[in-house]
Amino acid sequence: MANIAAKRIKREFKEVMKSEEVAGGVLKLELVNDSWTELKGQIAGPPETPYEGGTFLLEIKVPETYPFNPPKIRFMTKIWHPNVSSVTGAICLDILKDQWAAALTLRTVLLSIQALLSAAEPNDPQDAVVAKQYRENLLLFTLTAKHWTNIYAGGPSPVYDFDQKVQLLNDMGIDEHHARVALSTFDWDLERATEQLFV
């Protein structure tokens, strides 16, 4: 790794470790295989969002051209959000693309990703299906996002339980995650999800 990038990452890593967010359990950052090019981030789901109570892991890959180019970051924890791919975990956030500035740090990027969970941008989506649900049926989106937070991010059990429908598809031979994706995509309509899965 280029010397400038390594020095910068080491400094930023220390900055994150000393931050009030780490002390408060909001952020976490660790090295993967003692490498400064691969890190694992963790953010807490923000209060008063469907992600509250969840813990979301992020894969962070730092290029040799850092800080002149942004780190590549994706969600490792599955999440139902208009600006995050429910399949790959790719994040649609301007500062990770064309609005990147060398003055930004890992801490500000992690906080920006956490802020994105509080303020979705459904008109600039990474996941069109989730964005459509967000725009057309906010209540159902919220219930679905809470369900995914509970199942994948260790969040609290939601009031409305979708597991019965997931189990029905599971009993038909569909694996649990594919069943959940189909049901989430078709607004938890079992008939439409089943039709899609057995086309």
pLDDT of residue 91: 98
pTM of the model: 0.93
Binned at pLDDT 50, 70 and 90, residue 157 comes out as: confident
Residue 25 identity: G
Residue of 9, 73, 84, 92 marked catalytic: 92
Residue 109 identity: V
Mean pLDDT score, 129-146: 96
Active site residue 71: no
The tens digit of pLDDT for each residue in 16-72 reads 999 999 989 899 999 998 888 899 999 999 999 999 999 999 999 999 999 999 999
Give the Cα separation of 86 and 167 in Å (integer): 20
pLDDT for residue 116 is more than 80: yes
3-state SS assignment for residue 43: strand
* Measured CA distances, 105 to 5, 28, 72, 101 (Å): 12, 14, 13, 9
pLDDT for residue 102 is more than 70: yes
